[in-house]
A and B are shown apart, each in its own frame.
Chain A
């Protein structure tokens, strides 16, 4: 059973389009992180959200933590080919750093 469900699993869009990736769970997390991973490399942290309802922006990326701290979303505006990669959400139950990762969303942005 996957503790964190990400959807969609795969997404192929044209440059300039908008998209949203979802990360859902039945469990409550103390914080939730989003990572981006490129082929042949390890995941790189994009953002951490801690407070229910929190919204963080990173250029064209908008991250939101659900009010109940069980789900999160990542919205990309005007996607660019450089956004291509695997997007992973990860939930933390405590400050131990033991993160539970979702299966990931593979995004391909075509020029």
Chain B
């Protein structure tokens, strides 16, 4: 199994630009999570899906952030417009049971 696959690994963009992060969960996993990690705030849950349906998006910082899961094998996290304070590592994780999480390698986002 290839594990959770995220792309791109690194993204450098200018303030105001749209950023799209992508995630392919482990096949057969019903849960998908988006986390953000910074030195100041640690790992924060942004949103999670169960069977492609968003269950809890209370961690999404503001309307500039949106996430979709059009099918069981793909999810996106979009930031529009991006701001320097969005700079962080964004992780996608999937789970079959909702408890044991398998994380991807993350996307390092830098907004200049």
Contacts and interface: CB of A to CB of B under 8 A. Distances in A.
Interface stretch (A11-19, A73-81, A91-99): A91-99
A85 interface: no
Range, interface on chain A = 20 to 34
A102 B42 CA distance: 7
Nearest to A88: B43
B105 A41 contact: yes
A82 interface: no
A101 B42 contact: yes
A104 interface: yes
Which secondary structure dominates chain B's binding surface?
strand
A42 B42 contact: no
Contact of A95 (B45, B48, B99, B101): B99
A8 B4 CA distance: 30
B33 interface: yes
B34 interface: no
Interface string B28-45: 000101010000001111
A52 interface: no
A97 B48 contact: yes
Interface of B: 4, 31, 33, 35, 42-45, 48, 50, 55-56, 91, 93, 95, 97-106
Interface of A: 2, 31, 33, 40-45, 48, 88, 90, 92, 95-104
